A and B are shown apart, each in its own frame.
Chain A
Amino acid sequence: MIAQNVLLNEQEMIKWQNKLQKEHQKVLFWEAQAKGEERKRLAGLRQEIERQQQRIAKPQQLDYQSTAIKLVPPQTVIKNLIMAFLVGGSICLIGQIFYNLFTQGGLGIKDASAATASLLVFLGALFTGLGYYDVLGKVAGAGSIVPITGFANSIVSSALEFKSEGYISGVGARLFNVAGPILVYGTMVSILVGLVYYFAR
């Protein structure tokens, strides 16, 4: 009925909206009364009117969005990158120091890795509980999300959040609210990578 991507002025817009609304109501009424094949045909017609209704609103939405987007403050990408590098690197450096200390103390490579990971998870959880990790995250972004401490943060913050709903339906049910997707897709990707490695070897 009406061409796509035409920006209508206000009066035309209201005119079309009212016209389509009237048709929609009428067709819906016929559809409610009709039976069998006729009903199916009318349902198709109704859906076509619904598409028309969306179509006349679209150019107006796009027009507005193009005005709005110009005023959106830009993300501080460079600053974020540098901060993520520095903080993420520092967390890894701390991990490396612990790892070296563990190996010097006589632990094997595997045991030292496990002990380091556990210690970092503990520290991530501790600082989340003390209320410092979100302050760090605000500055560091991915720098504090990507290391294993970020994983601890996502679980402990959920646990703290839902504690007031009890241990079963609160903490138990929602512990993996944030970390759940990471676990699901992380596991899936690791399987895929494993398969690729197995066949490509």
Chain B
Amino acid sequence: MTPNKIGKQTLQFSSAPVITSWASVVGPMEGKGPLGEKYDLVLRDTLAGEKSWEKAEQKMMQYSIELAMEKHDLLPKDLDFYLAGDLLNQITCANFTARFLNIPFLGLYGACSTLAEGLCMAGVFLEGGFAEKMGFSASSHHDTAERQYRTPVELGDQRPMTAQWTVTGSASLIVEKKGNGIKLTHATIGKIIDLGISNAQDLGSAMAPAAFDTIKTHFEDLGRSENDYDLIVTGDLGLLGHGILKELLKEKGISPDKFNDCGIMVYSPEQDTHCGGSGCGCSGVVLTAHLIERLLSGYYHRLLFIGTGALLNSLTSNQGETIPCIAHAVVLESRGE
């Protein structure tokens, strides 16, 4: 018997774990974006005083979890478990941050869906009574991602119009069994969807069907519709992916008015990123800096957050493989109903 599973893919957290604390750390470019003033810390440059971008990304993740703990007056030893993930090979950023925290740790990888994956996992841990307090981080860094997935940063090449800009940013959340904050009520774990897009510079088109599948299944499982939510926000589909998702939704008769995308919200059009932002940090910093505040203030009451991830690496895209994508959804509710 699985009393907490509804339908095919949806988990119900009846005890409603609470996100009690959160923090975001971003790079200078994100700091100049439309949400610039809302981030907890904006780095002066992408190196953050370190010798390499990888070290800078690790520091960024560490700062974000430290800030999240400090806001709620916690120390690492108060957390039962720490979950983290990033985009680097072997998620080194997360591993090195966990080395600093010195608490039980599980590394996660879901590409840019890592944040939603982490919230699902935290929900399962708390609902199952395995933990009281959990820490969770996700990060991405433009320069480390560029060198790993594409070309050297200083190379003077032209990015295609479908390309997205990896966000330099890290977000951390503290999820607790009880407390004041944002309630986590449901999670829908996605399937891998691959509709044959192989262009690594066009991840929006690759990820849109995965997001669509998860949204559709979520609605079917819970018997809900878009009208039950104040906002349905995807992780990093970007302008193109968001446009495609809207088309797919219209075909199914779902009104796309309440949909938005973190990749579009994170940069302003003048920043000329072509299709918007991407990366684990993208959905992370928008959620922690902007969406959670809106939920707290009562502007939104219930929000569906869908993390979308393209599960490729430079090797598979060089070998001409198509891009398998995944999307996980979580339902966040403000306290007052």
Contacts and interface: CB of A to CB of B under 8 A. Distances in A.
Given A64-B196, A65-B195, A68-B244, A75 B152 contact: no
B195 A157 contact: no
A157 B152 contact: yes
A74 B195 contact: no
Given A68-B197, A73-B161, A161-B147, A144 B153 contact: no
Interface residues of B, number: 32
A150 B156 contact: yes
Contact of A71 (B54, B147, B243): B243
Taking each of A57, A58, A71, which has the highest tally of chain B beta carbons within 10 Å of its own beta carbon?
A: A71
B156 A134 contact: yes
Given A60-B195, A164-B54, A177-B152, A72 B162 contact: yes
A58 B194 CA distance: 11
Interface string A52-92: 00000110111011011001111110001000000000000
A136 B156 CA distance: 7
Given A64-B196, A72-B205, A74-B161, A153 B240 contact: no
A72 B156 contact: no
The 4 lowest CB-CB distance pairs between A and B, nearest first, are A137-B156, A61-B196, A164-B52, A157-B154
20 contacts: A62-B196, A65-B195, A65-B197, A67-B247, A67-B248, A68-B244, A71-B205, A71-B243, A72-B240, A73-B162, A73-B240, A135-B156, A137-B156, A138-B158, A157-B152, A160-B154, A162-B152, A164-B51, A164-B53, A178-B155
Contact of A64 (B51, B162, B195): B195
Contact of B156 (A80, A144, A164, A177): A144
B317 to A, nearest CB: 16
A31 to B, nearest CB: 25
Contacts of A138: 156, 158-159
Nearest to B239: A73
A67 B252 CA distance: 14
A116 interface: no
A131 interface: yes
Contacts of A162: 152
Interface in B244-280: 244, 247-248, 274-275
B160 interface: yes
A157 B155 contact: yes
A71 B155 CA distance: 28
Contacts of B240: 71-73
Interface string A23-56: 0000000000000000000000000000000000
A99 interface: no
A120 interface: no
Given A161-B147, A164-B51, A156 B156 contact: no
Interface in A119-159: 128-129, 131, 133-138, 140-141, 144-145, 150, 153-154, 156-158
B153 A80 contact: no
A61 B240 CA distance: 18
B243 A61 contact: no
B151 interface: yes
Nearest to A73: B161
B202 interface: yes
Contacts of B195: 60-61, 64-65
Contacts of A57: 196
Contacts of A158: 152, 155
A19 B70 CA distance: 54
Contacts of B52: 164
A74 B197 CA distance: 17
Contacts of B153: 134, 157, 160-161
Given A58-B196, A141-B158, 20 more contacts: A61-B196, A62-B196, A68-B205, A71-B243, A71-B247, A72-B161, A72-B162, A73-B274, A73-B275, A128-B154, A134-B153, A134-B155, A134-B156, A135-B156, A144-B156, A156-B154, A157-B155, A160-B152, A161-B152, A164-B54
Interface string B114-149: 000000000000000000000000000000000100
Nearest to A160: B154
Contact of B158 (A64, A80, A177): A80
Interface string B158-196: 111110000000000000000000000000000000011
A137 to B, nearest CB: 2
Nearest to B247: A67
A111 B1 CA distance: 84
B208 interface: yes
